[in-house]
Amino acid sequence: MRAYAASRLDALGVLTILAYGTWFYGFGVLFDDLLDAHNLTEGSLALAYGAASLVAGIGAITTGRQLDKANPRIALGVVGPLGTALYFASAGLSGTAFLITYAAGGGLIGAAGFYAFTQPLAVRLGTADPSRSITRLTIWGALSSPIMIPATEWLRSQQGWQTAIRVPAIATFAAFAICAVVCSPRGPQPGAAGSLLQALRSAAKRREVRRFAIAALLSSAA
């Protein structure tokens, strides 16, 4: 039973590596290529990145609420795969169409594959020791940049920037599909708030949540 629980956390860990590695880390690797290929300004490309981050943040509220209802499969089986499909499609588009699909795809990947969703899910999957579950997932996630940045760079240099978008998108799609099957907790979250407003009010009362929000804001500004 413990081995099965660990394998589910490991599957979620691989997803975390790939989700962060697609557009979040891939953006920096492909930045110059995207500027040249689409004749974009740095500002417009940065705006697309910011829009993706915004979509990821707002989307995480929805995916998190679904997790409260013990239904992560909507995030893992619909939201994430849709994001990877849009991200994949962006490689064949140009101009405004590229910016929109790139931002929307990256944002949906983040909403279903970033820590805001995967860490609470890890806690639900490893209820016997939540802190150990988060630690295990975080160790996996820490491997994202040392794996995905050089991998994306190799794909870019050897096969071109479009392949460097498409291959990670395919791998991330597969990871979402696997996690949608194996990473499903049983029963709703005990004490889950009945509405989004109640959930936000409850979270705002917690000192650690406020500190985290301030730290995240300062980190983004820096």
The chain-wide mean pLDDT, for the chain, equals 86
For residues 139 and 210, state if they share a domain: no
Q: Are 23 and 121 in the same domain?
A: yes
Q: What is the three-state SS of 68-96?
A: HCCCCHHHHHHHHHHHHHHHHHHCCCCHH
Closest to 27 in 3D by CA, of 8, 57, 51, 11: 51
Do residues 76 and 147 share a domain?
Answer: yes
CATH code, 105: 1.20.1250.20
- 183 lies in the same domain as 212: no
The answer on 198 and 144 residing in a single domain is no
Which residues span the domain enclosing 214?
Answer: 192-222
Cα dist from 27 to 20, 116, 120, whole Å: 10, 20, 26
- pLDDT higher than 70, residue 186: no
Q: Which residues contact 133 (CB under 8 A, 6 or more apart)?
A: 9, 122, 123, 125, 126
Q: Contact at 8 Å (CB) between 34 and 52?
A: no
Domains contained in the chain, number: 2
Report the b/e string of 81-106 with b at 16+ CB within 10 A: bbbbebbbbbbeeeeeebbebbbbbb
What is the SS3 assignment for 151? Answer: helix
Q: Is this structure's pTM higher than 0.75?
A: yes
Clarify whether residues 55 and 164 are in a common domain: yes
* Confidence tier at 143 by pLDDT (50, 70, 90): very high
Same domain, 48 and 121: yes
Whether residue 52 is predicted with pLDDT greater than 80 in this model: the reply is yes
Residues 154 and 208 in one domain: no
**Residues 153 and 30 sit within 8 Å (Cβ to Cβ):** no
Q: Are residues 171 and 220 in the same domain?
A: no
- Pair (221, 169) in one structural domain: no
Shared-domain flag, residues 199 and 165:
no
Report how far residue 89's alpha carbon sits from residue 167's, in angstroms, rounded to the nearest whole number. Answer: 12
Asked if residue 157 has pLDDT above 90, the reply is yes
